[in-house]
Structure 1
């Protein structure tokens, strides 16, 4: 592992990917009015993707923008101004930086020497042009016992539904925003993206034309992925989130490829390895997210492999909160029931076929168990989502912190989602117990049990996962042993619906309603019926809504943590935005040293 000191040097020398600068006050200057006059005509430079801040610490923050020349494609010299007031009368520093064309004219500046728990204002200038003014905030000192308020987001598919909920979120008073993945969707025109979409979101064309998937096309080149980020960040509502709050981001699958593992895609049973494509996706994500690369790792100029990046990291937020962000794609083993082997067993095409149902979704539990035994023998260890090194880091971080609450920024569902059809009136071949989502933690049962049992054995309490990916709202107790009545409650998993992506129920509904089996049809006939089925089969659910879009906000205090789910309304039948964006709020509280979830619906 590269040492932090040597890696900082590597980053700085890597053709200007990151700039590090102190915010010590400008000597003898309390205003930015004395800055030299720039004579370039106004409009010579464009800030089309706004500004952003991220990865705040008590004494530093990352500031980001993208600036391009109105004509041409050259590098752009910028000045970053940071102040303690919005009018920049109390300017702290003016920092020269360069937006390099080789990084799509994006810049990242780590500003150090800041004061803890302080609001700062910043803007970038190029010639006579200036970006919008952004607002950011440093984290409170470890001794602070004040409440921490943050939001988390996931699954903001450009091509479906709407982003009006971001307008509501931008008006909140928050310390920061967490993004738990699916910031972009790599596919364009896929079957799950064919539905109503707001007028503000026109169709996206990938520069390379994309590669053909089972439906639609998917990003392949660095320009394809950059185009997606440029487009998404061109939406002023998403810009407002970045402009108003520092963001702490992690990725999930769609930043690279749906249901991916390492550098493999899963569009077909082949699970084709696509290392160059993985690196392209990685670079675009790194260019467009305000990540502190002195704290983690990115080596854009290495020429081989896909592990030229490490993004799992943690943040101490006062006395009440320790945030741990995990990467659940780059190190995960192949799905336990691998599609090619399964396809051969059932006589399907093991290369070009699609056996996601039966391998990643709706998997008979005995089949999952058999495949896990075989894969464990082959690997010489239990198949994992986090990988060996990250798993140990996760354990050590949670064991060694003295923060009251351990908040886990977790991409995929931890809550148990089983469906028992053994006593149902279904054909004999379907009488089984099924794991609905094996792309989530349920699909790696022994690794999940081992990790949760570690928390039990080491008496690590007050662990709360904040999750995305599923396109649903869930609040659940999670046990170290999944069988009913056998496990110890370990943590609480709050799963927030996607900003815009089609709901989990919407994905499942057609297949099950078309099954022609009355017992199954009745379970999926309506969203309420499906929610009731899930709660009946998984009694640790305190709340579910599998037909939803929205976001979540949490408040972390000394004695309790509260979470509110904000469910947004769907588009009107004519495709217009609803008059009332907020459809429903549901509030939850968890008291310190318990895993009991108190629900106040429609709060």
Structure 2
């Protein structure tokens, strides 16, 4: 490639070679300065977004800063400042004591170069530094005239052929300025790690969205886009539309001193997800509305916004210290390539992907008509709560429509053809022990058997009615509630009243004489299945004391031993569904909860997993963001196969560091519907001297993954929501922990919590919806820390404490949960 083509395809950057004194301009020839730029002089300079580094390699790193006159607001552009040059300074001498200060670097400099700053790039600087020593800590800063930036630190990667005993890093995602707090950055900056992997949603393109109207720390003021477009009409939420809008968001986010301190101390390896452009986007298409739909072909299309996409691309390139290529001269919106790989000795190979710029439309178009209403599906039914059979049939149809010899995965792909081939080659040719996939959206199947879920809910609702029937039947069994439970069980299962009554008394007599109660009931005319149910109801009721408790215990057996199985077998036709059959009919199917992630692109996921399996590529672990939820589990080669397939790799998903949780989104979306019972249970907790705490208890985790909890585990699940609610009521941080523990103790003593809610959680857990998920906490904020060694990997999820009123907690970390992956074994083991 000649120099002109290289510069045109690289876009703007500068390069410095350690100890060589060379500074090179990497902009295209049409914008390169004809002569050296005048040096910045004097004191009228500032570095309002501080400094950053990224993509550490064995011989170098990418350095970043932004510099403007001091009389310019931190987030304003300053075209009047023109172009000028500043210095970049680097040393290997330990300057740890100077981190976070603007003191001059101490020690011999290995770099002291002059580099240009251009107004057309909003005075951002991206300086690619090479010629450094591998596996070495360096300190750096920039100087404009008499003003120095703060001191930063980075560590180069080990040499490619180096034996590495241990590698420590963190991975994070989803930092919404407008909700919750950013205290997690303070904690993360103190971790004993070498770098941070950022998996996207560094900014959120919207301002004033419904999910951004919750509590936020007072130190984060309201965002005001320079331009922006209203999402609906001429009021309410806006979204970033122009390059100026996206630049503003990066600049504003990067004014937070805690995020600045993190960038100063640790290099980033960054990719993007959707919000760097548009929520749930694909290529240059937004999904705020449903788009169009062609009934003949079954193909939909969202609104394409190429100019907006190009602005988002440029702003990300300008503000992220990533060693990627960008072409500002092309009219294509695919003008930046961010997928890349970074080796860390023989131990680790980071494979960074782009799962937005090349992805095909969502398999089920948002504009496709809902069969029940005829209206467009919208996001529910196309991206969320998608019937699995519908998604599978449409995916298959799209693949069949590809002409012979074409890429059949192209219309159903997240990667696109070129990136997919690159990924397969990179994974297959890597000689590192561990292949760490920096992956934006989860690979884990997250499904739900709607029939079983609805049957569980209806069975739960029937318990009180059945218990009432048992209490009423006790009069005909001489007050023997256990016998009444047997009678109602037999009648519920189809026996006539007289036969059921005779069988119930026979069961009571048999139990009293240590005979076989089932045989006794069959002798009185019950079928074997009726007799088995009746005997089980009798024993459950007889095992507890008190008429009410006995009726409830018997009712539980009938509800889950007969009513639930009947609904599962017959669906909406079951007599126990009753008058709600029509409204519930659409739910008697298998759902995929989130088809914006890899569940929506199942054919390509299976293709990638087959590549790993067939080629014996082991020790692949995905580091994932996006979901605002902690997950750990295995990615199987084919979740739809008999036995759900073979585990091929592991996926660790971190919660958002500040964004509202996945649980909250689903709780808001299902509130007021029957489905809400799968997501949350409303509980009110009176607290003396404080008031009533109105909470939504998280059932979502049990519906999707969790095992049946103990009472103490159930209480721990509500600890942070109680803490948040108490803080919102004005309880001081000093008193929060003690007050929260007292509330939980009182809550555990209430039957509604210790019996009803505990039973509900256990029944939802029994659905065993996604057994490959070994851990899930859907209502959380936090980040993940990894210790990687040749023989294994340890991943620790750090969950954050919530806001205290409108103040970030002084102790950010609430809890840590650790997991291990052993070398050559695609499995996750919980450590603590």
Partner of 2:327: 299
2:190 to 165, 168, 171: 171
Aligned pairs (5 A) from 1:409-424: 409-423=438-452, 424=454
Q: How much does 1:289 deviate?
A: 0.5
Output the CA distance in 2 between the equivalents of 1:460 and 1:275. Answer: 38
Per residue, is there more helix in 1 or in 2? 2
2:311 to 274, 280, 285: 280
Q: 1:236 — aligned with what?
A: 257
Tell me the equivalent position of 2:629: 472
Aligned 1:209-224 pairs, distance under 5 A: 209-213=228-232, 216-224=237-245
Q: Which moved more, 1:64-73 or 1:256-265?
A: 64-73
Contact 1:25 / 1:91 at 8 angstroms: preserved in 2?
no
The equivalences for 1:137-536 within 5 A come to: 137-142=155-160, 143-213=162-232, 216-270=237-291, 271-293=302-324, 297-302=325-330, 304-342=331-369, 346-348=373-375, 355-380=378-403, 381-382=408-409, 383-423=412-452, 424-425=454-455, 427-483=584-640, 485-516=643-674, 520=678, 528-535=698-705, 536=768
Q: Please say if residues 670 and 676 of structure 2, whose CA atoms lie closer than 8 Å, have aligned partners that are also in contact.
A: no
SS in 1 for 2:115: strand
Please state if 1:598 is matched with 2:829: yes
Instruction: Kindly indicate whether the alpha-carbon contact (under 8 Å) linking 2:200 and 2:276 is maintained by their aligned counterparts in 1.
Output: yes
Over residues 336-357 of structure 1, what are the superposed CA-to-partner deviations in whole Å (9 max), with x where a residue is unaligned?
0011234699422x5xxx7100
Distance, in Å, in 1 between the alignment partners of 2:817 and 2:201 is 23
Name the stretch that deviates more: 245-254 or 482-491: 482-491
Give the C-alpha shift of residue 249 in structure 1: 0.5
Name the one with the larger strand percent: 1
Partner of 1:562: 794
Matched, 1:578 2:809: yes
Residue matched to 2:120:
102
- For the 8 Å contact 1:83–1:89, the answer to whether it is kept is yes
The answer to whether the 8 Å contact 2:204/2:276 transfers is yes
Q: Distance in 2 between matches of 1:39 and 1:269?
A: 50
The answer for the alignment partner of 2:14 in structure 1 is 19
Residue 82 of structure 1 contacts residue 88 of structure 1 at CA under 8 Å; is this kept in 2? no
Residue 81 of structure 2 aligns to a residue whose secondary structure is coil
Q: Shift in Å at residue 88 of structure 1?
A: 3.0
Give the CA deviation at 1:291.
1.5
User: Structure 2: 5+ residue runs without aligned partners?
Assistant: 23-38, 72-79, 96-104, 292-301, 459-583, 684-695, 706-767
Preserved contact between residue 40 and residue 144 of structure 2 (Cα < 8 Å): no
Give the match for residue 121 of structure 1. Answer: 139
Q: 3-state SS of the aligned residue for 2:431? A: coil
C-alpha separation in 1, matches of 2:153 and 2:249: 25
Residues 182, 255 of structure 1: 8 Å contact kept: yes
How far apart, in 1, do the equivalents of 2:441 and 2:188 lie?
23
- Provide, for residues 282-314 of structure 1, a one-character-per-residue CA deviation record: whole Å limited to 9, x for no partner: 000000011213xxx210122x12111111000
Q: Does the 8 Å contact 1:67/1:105 carry over to 2?
A: yes
Task: State yes or no: 1:84 paired with 2:92.
Answer: yes
Deviates more, 1:377-386 or 1:173-182: 377-386
CA distance in structure 2 between the partners assigned to 1:364 and 1:430 by the alignment: 9
CA distance in 2, matches of 1:118, 1:518: 53
- Partner of 2:816, secondary structure, is strand
- Whole-angstrom CA distance in 2 between matches of 1:99 and 1:394: 35
CA distance in structure 1 between the aligned counterparts of 2:603 and 2:210, rounded to whole angstroms: 33
| 1:528 CA drift (Å) | 4.5
Q: Partners of 1:39 and 1:578 in 2: how far apart? A: 41
Contact 1:221 1:277 in 2 (8 A): yes
Quick one: distance in 2 between partners of 1:66 and 1:589?
A: 40
In structure 1, the residue matched to 2:58 is 58
CA distance in 2 between partners of 1:156 and 1:516 (Å): 32
Change over 3 Å in CA distance of 1:305–1:346 after alignment to 2 = farther
Structure 1 gap ranges (5+): 28-37
Rounded Cα–Cα distance in structure 1 between residues aligned with 2:682 and 2:818: 26
Secondary structure of 1:340 counterpart:
coil
CA drift at 1:90: 1.2
For the residue of structure 1 that corresponds to 2:351, the secondary structure is strand
User: 1:210–1:224: 8 Å Cα contact kept in structure 2?
Assistant: no
Distance 1:345 1:339, change over 3 A: farther
1:478 to partner: Cα distance:
1.0
Q: Retained in 1: the 8 A contact 2:55–2:62? A: yes
Q: Give me the whole-angstrom Cα distance separating, in 1, the residues matched to 2:250 and 2:143.
A: 22
Deviations 1:179-217 (A, max 9, x none): 010000000000110100011110010011434258611
Residue 442 of structure 1: SS of its match in structure 2? helix
Give 1:24 shift: 1.5
Q: Distance in 1 between matches of 2:444 and 2:773?
A: 8
Output the aligned Cα RMSD. 2.1
| Distance apart, 1:578 and its partner CA | 2.2
TM-fit CA distance, 1:406:
0.5
